[in-house]
Chain A
Amino acid sequence: MKGDYVFLYILVFLSLFFISIVFLLGFELYQGSSQIFSIYGINFILGSVWDPVKNIYGIAPIIVGSFLTCLIALILAVPISLLVAYFISDLTPAKLKPFVSSLVELLAAVPSVIYGLWGLLVLAPFLRSNVYLPLQKTFYFIPIFQGASTGYGILTAGIILAIMILPTITSIIREAIELLPLQIKEAAISLGAFRYQVARIIFIHLKLTIIAAIILGFARAFGEAMAVAMVIGGKHGFPVSIFDTGYTLPSIIVNEFTEAVNPLHYDALIAVGFILFIIALLNIVFARLLIYRSTRFFKLSIT
């Protein structure tokens, strides 16, 4: 019918418009950074000096900072997420389940500036007095523990990121657990398996989903800008101790973007955005591929 054609055309048009926005985004970032890449080539990524005065731009320490914070976040968040996911799906009575899972989702509802404010004014000083300084006093002979610890830096940022990605990973795993065919759990229980054995079996079945969840959690942590910018301390250079300050790719954009005075500095920051774009793209593609592959009938909504 006529109205249908019109309707379909409108929908297709809007969808194409949307896709073109995504392409435009990629294109603008690419174009803005082409200058930098033609000058520096691969040295942009491998170089370790970021000096806007001398116009030398290398983001290796920043990439290291990004990876370190995300690694710390994953190490802290993944085990807890797995346990919490199992806890919610199998150990919580059905009546309490919506309530308990809402609690975990609340963690995701807190805006990242508020995480940053809390991290800056509450967590960092707390960690400094109660965790970092005592750690430094007892392990002062290990080089990686030396250096000034201010409470701000890579470790604190990693901890906050862990809190932020926990709900993401938990909700993916939890939905996956609940969508597993019941026979698997029933078979295990009928053979006399205890809960920890059931959990192990479930997780073995969900290997691919777990990897996908980790990748998505990593992507979320990698792209986090505000909370990290407020606690990372802003240092250009490789971190020398675990308490050291540093930079991550998004936080350097927060700090330097509106004021990149010379055009090359501006281009360099757009190039950082471009790299973020590419890494985010790769992460999501991998994660989606894994999810589609392992579960053709899943319908996952990720907060």
Chain B
Amino acid sequence: MRIPSLRRFYDLIFVSICVIAFILAMIPLAWILIEIIINGISAFSIQLLTNLPRPAGVPGGGIANYIQGTIILVAIASLIGFPFGLFIGVFLSEFKEHKLVPIVRFFVDVFAEFPSIVIGIFVYVILVRGEIFELFGVQSICIGAICLGPMGFSALAGSISLALLMIPIVSKSVEESLNLVPVSIKEAALALGMSRWRTVFSISISYARTGILLAYILALSRIAGEAAPLLLTVLGSYYWFSGLFDRIGALPLAIFTYGISPFEDLRAQAWVASLLLILAILFLNIGLKILIRRRFAW
């Protein structure tokens, strides 16, 4: 029977092509990870983790402040971005009947796909340069003794830009997680006389808490690797963190700056920084996925 075997042959070719496509997709991943591991480990030293950067060619330089900077920036960004994203996610999921919801959902979707560099420009113009203040015709806006003015390149501006990136990510994941809460449970709580907001907090969020935690941690891993907005808001620093309104260093920025430099020792440090960054991201992504899979049958 020739015709079926011809089709069988086509089928075999097709399946092989699929497998080849998958392998092709995995080659860059494997290549990048191998390069990072090889280059990162060969240049690794404890000194790198404890010392401050030194000028190129001077031995003993380290990336310690970049690590500290990334941790601080991500921590502050999540303090601002997570609650914001959480509330918007709650709004989109629990109050679907509200007229504003489809509009907000649209804006969240749109904002999620914005190039991060545009958000960097935005924060630069608004906060670093302070043009929002010029808009209102004032040098700075003061509430009592606390004054907000153009803040120059600063850790706070960097954190805010990362927070902005975080909001849509958190919001979408939170919305998804909350949508998985069985309606019957919510209805049961409401039927028992619980107010809506109590229902949201005590029932829905607690039921979906693993998903929400996952959303938080995945968002963290996303913004930890962002360099574009930081380039325009923080400008990098060679010293320890010294205040919210001072410049700060960060791992992705260091990778960029050291990577394009011609110095072998700096490039080696860029690889080590990449190794640390990707280890952190992999740990967050994979470690937590495993955790979640135990909870839900995904």
Interface residues in chain A, defined as those with a beta carbon under 8 Å from any beta carbon in chain B:
1, 3-4, 6-8, 10-12, 14-16, 18-19, 21-22, 24-25, 28-29, 32, 79-80, 83-84, 86-88, 91, 98, 100, 102-107, 109-118, 120-122, 163, 166, 170, 194-197, 199, 216, 219-220, 222-226, 230, 250, 253-254, 257-258, 270, 273, 276-277, 280-281, 283-285, 288, 299, 301-302
Q: How far is the CB of B182 from chain A (nearest CB, A)?
A: 16
| A105 CA to B285 CA, complexed, in Å | 10
Interface size on B, residues (CB 8 A): 90
24 contacts between A and B (CB under 8 A): A12-B98, A15-B100, A28-B125, A84-B25, A87-B18, A102-B289, A110-B32, A111-B277, A113-B255, A114-B32, A117-B259, A120-B260, A163-B28, A199-B14, A223-B114, A225-B116, A225-B117, A226-B228, A250-B117, A253-B121, A254-B228, A258-B231, A276-B117, A280-B110
Residue in contact with A301 in the complex, picked from B10, B176, B277, CB distance below 8 Å: B176
Residue pair B227, A111 in contact (C-beta under 8 Å): yes
Residue in contact with B21 in the complex, picked from A83, A109, A226, A284, CB distance below 8 Å: A83
Binary interface encoding of chain B residues 102-118 relative to chain A, with 1 for a CB under 8 A from any of its CBs, else 0: 01101111111111111
Residue of B nearest to A216 (CB): B113
Residue of B nearest to A160 (CB): B28
Please name 19 further chain A to chain B contacts, defined as beta carbons within 8 Å, in addition to the given A226-B227, A230-B260, A276-B115, sorted by A numbering: A1-B195, A8-B98, A8-B196, A12-B100, A22-B110, A24-B126, A87-B18, A103-B29, A111-B226, A113-B252, A114-B274, A114-B278, A116-B256, A117-B255, A117-B259, A194-B7, A226-B252, A280-B113, A299-B176
Residue in contact with B22 in the complex, picked from A4, A8, A84, A288, CB distance below 8 Å: A84
Q: Chain A residues with Cβ under 8 A from B181's Cβ?
A: none
| A4 CA to B91 CA, complexed, in Å | 12
Residue pair A284, B107 in contact (C-beta under 8 Å): no
Q: A22-B107, A199-B14 are in contact. Are A223 and B88 (CB under 8 A)?
A: no
Q: A107-B28, A199-B14, A283-B113 are in contact. Are A112 and B225 (CB under 8 A)?
A: yes
| Binding site secondary structure of chain A | helix
Near A by CB (< 8 A), chain B positions 121-157 give 121-122, 124-126, 131-132
Q: Chain B residues with Cβ under 8 A from A230's Cβ?
A: 256, 259-260
Q: Chain B residues with Cβ under 8 A from A120's Cβ?
A: 259-260
Residue in contact with B271 in the complex, picked from A12, A100, A117, A170, CB distance below 8 Å: A117
Q: Chain A residues with Cβ under 8 A from B113's Cβ?
A: 216, 219-220, 223, 280, 283-284, 302
Residue pair A253, B117 in contact (C-beta under 8 Å): yes
Residue pair A11, B95 in contact (C-beta under 8 Å): yes
Residue of A nearest to B8 (CB): A194
Residue pair B118, A223 in contact (C-beta under 8 Å): yes
For residue B64, CB closer than 8 A to chain A, the reply is no
Q: A1-B196, A113-B225 are in contact. Are A107 and B29 (CB under 8 A)?
A: yes
Residue pair A114, B25 in contact (C-beta under 8 Å): no
Interface centre among B98, B103, B131, B228 (most CB of A within 10 A): B228
Q: Chain A residues with Cβ under 8 A from B35's Cβ?
A: 118, 122
